[in-house]
Structure 1
C-alpha cells in the first residue's frame, strides 16, 4: 500500500512534535513542523535569558547616575539636541557581534515652568491685561528695562502696560507751482503711558533641570493699528540661545556620563 504525500507529511510532523530538535541558541528553541506553535520557554526558567528593559527619566542627574552605575562595557549613547533627549544602549554590540539593543536608558528633559512660559508667549499678540497679568505672575524672574537701559521697577512696568494711551496726529503740505500743485499728508500714531513704558523684559530662567541660568531678553512692541493697543514680546536672539542651550546639554551630559558610555550626536534606530 502506497502512502499519499499528505500521509507522509503527517508522519513527519508527528515525529518532529514528539522529538523536537533543540537548536544551539542562547534562548531555548527547537525545530517543530509548520503549523505548530513555537513557545518561549524563558518564563519557565529560574531567571530571564538576558537583562533587558528601558529606564526612562526626565532627570539629567538620575540618568547619569543610572548609566555610570551600570558601567557596561561598550555602551553607546545618542544625543538628539533638537529634542533635548538621549538614548543609551548597553547591549548594542557592534558589526561583528551585534546585540539585541533592548537594554536601554532614555532621557527626555522637560522644560521648566518659566522656560515653557517664555516659549509660549513669544510672538503672540497680547492685550494690556494679558501682558500685565503675565508680568505679575512671573515678577520674581523678571527685570524691566527702559529705553536708556535704566531699570524700571516691576510695579511701575505693570502700571505702564495697563495705562497705554494712543495719540494720533496729522500733518499736510500743499505746494503751488506755475504748472500745477501737489499735496502730501502724513498721519502719526504714538503710544505713550502715564508711567515709563519698558522697552524690554529680562527673564532669568533655568531652561531645563541641570543646566545653568539664562537671561532671555524680550523686546516689547506696541501695536497701534487696532481700536485698542495690543502688545507683543519678541525673544531677542532666540535661535542663538536655543543652540547654546543644546550645546550646554551635550556638555553637561558628557560630564555626567563620563566614560560609562560613548556618546554621539544623532539618533539610532536598532529595528
Structure 2
C-alpha cells in the first residue's frame, strides 16, 4: 500500500500540531486566535468580541486646540508627535510604543494648518508677471494688509501708491555713446525704458504685506520688491520666502510643544516625518 503526497502531508501536519500549539500559547498575543484544522490557519476572533483589542483609526482636524485636546484624551506611554515643516502638518502616533515594546501604529491624529485667504492671495501673486492695471487693482483690493515704501524708505499712502502704479508711463529712450581715447575709440547704441508717473505721485519701490499666514500662527510681515518686467508688465516678489517659511515651521513646533506642556502632557515632539 502506497501513501499519496496528500496523506503524507496530513501526517506531517498532525505530528507537528502539539509543537505548533505550544508556540502559539507562548506567543502571549493580546489577540484571541484559534487553530482551525484546515492547514492550521490562524483566525482572529476580534470581530466577535464585545470590544476591540486596541484603538485604531485616524483623527483629522485643522484646529490646533482640537488636535491638542484629542492628544490629551488618548496619549499613553510611547506617544510621539511629528511636525512636517514643508506641509505645515503635525501627526501624533499614540501606539508607537518603545524600543523594547514597539506598537502597531494604528491609532493616529493629524493636524493640517490652513492658509488664510490673504496669504493665499500673496503666494499666488509673488513672482507672477501682471499687467499694470491688474497690479493696481490687486493693491487696492488688499490695501488693508499693505504698506508701500519709496526707494529711499519713506512710507507712501496706499491710495497714492496704487494710483502711481495705475498712472505709470513707459517711454523708450534710444541713443548712442562714443568713447575716444588716444589709441582707440568705442561706440555703442543703447535703448532703455524710462518709467514715469504723475508729478505729485511717487513710484513705490517695495511693499510690506502683513497678515496671519496660517490659522493659529502669529501675524507676519512679508517684504516684497516691485520690478518692471517690460512695458506695462510688473511683478511683486516676496523677499527671502524660504527663510520665512522655516521660521513659521519652528513657530508651529513651539506652539504644539507649549500647548501640550500646558495640558501637562509629556509627549516628545520632532520636526520630520515618521
Q: What range describes the TM-score normalised by the shorter chain of this pair?
A: 0.7 to 0.9
Equivalent residue in structure 2 for 1:261, among 247, 261, 267: 267
Q: CA deviation at 1:2?
A: 5.5
Q: Distance in 2 between matches of 1:254 and 1:111?
A: 21
Match of 1:149 among 137, 147, 153: 153
User: SS state of the match for residue 44, structure 2?
Assistant: coil
Encode CA deviations 1:16-49: one digit per residue, 9 max, x unaligned.
Answer: 9xxx967552111123356676543222111111
Aligned match of 1:242: 245
Measured in 2, the distance between the counterparts of 1:38 and 1:252 equals 46
Do the aligned partners of 1:92 and 1:98 also contact (CA within 8 Å) in 2? Answer: yes
Larger CA deviation: 200-209 vs 257-266: 257-266
Distance verdict in 2 for CA 1:8–1:125, change over 3 Å? same
Give, in whole Å, the separation in 1 of the partners of 2:184 and 2:58: 84
In structure 2, distance between residues paired with 1:74 and 1:177: 80
Matched residue, 1:170: 174
Cα 1:202–1:72 change in 2 (3 A) is same
Q: Return the offset for 1:257.
A: 1.7
Distance 1:5 1:175 in 2: 103
C-alpha deviations, 1:79-136, integer Å up to 9, x for none? 2212212221111111211111111111221221222222221111111122122222
Number of residue pairs aligned between Structure 1 and Structure 2: 263
**1:208 alignment partner, one of 210, 214, 217:** 214
The alpha carbon displacement at 1:217 in A equals 1.1
The equivalent residue for 2:106 is 102
Query: Which residue number corresponds to residue 80 of structure 1?
Result: 84
> In structure 1, how many angstroms separate the alpha carbons of the residues matched to 2:156 and 2:182?
56
Contact 2:34 2:44 in 1 (8 A): no
Q: Which runs of 5+ in 2 are unaligned?
A: none
Question: Residue 116 of structure 1 corresponds to which residue in structure 2?
Answer: 120
The answer (yes or no) to whether the contact 1:123–1:233 under 8 Å persists in 2 is yes
Cα distance in 1 between the residues matched to 2:44 and 2:62: 34
In 2, the alpha carbon distance for the partners of 1:261 and 1:170 equals 68
**Bigger RCO (CA 8 Å, 6+ sep):** 1
1:66 Cα deviation from its structure 2 partner: 1.5
Measured against aligned partners, the alpha-carbon deviations of 1:207-241 in whole angstroms (never above 9, x if no partner) come to 112211101111111123xxx32101121222221
Instruction: Pick closer, same or farther for the CA change 1:181–1:142 going to 2, 3 Å.
Output: closer
Give me the CA root mean square deviation: 2.9
Match of 1:6 in 2: 6
Q: Deviations over 1:160-210 (max 9, x none)?
A: 222211122233345678987653333332111223221112111111122
Q: TM-score, normalised by structure 2?
A: 0.83
Show the counterpart of 1:69. 73
Runs of 5+ unmatched residues, structure 1 = none
Aligned residues of 1:222 and 1:231 also touching (Cα < 8 A): yes
Task: Give the deviation of 1:147 after TM superposition.
Answer: 2.2
Distance 1:222 1:7 in 2: 87
Distance 2:179 2:7 in 1: 113
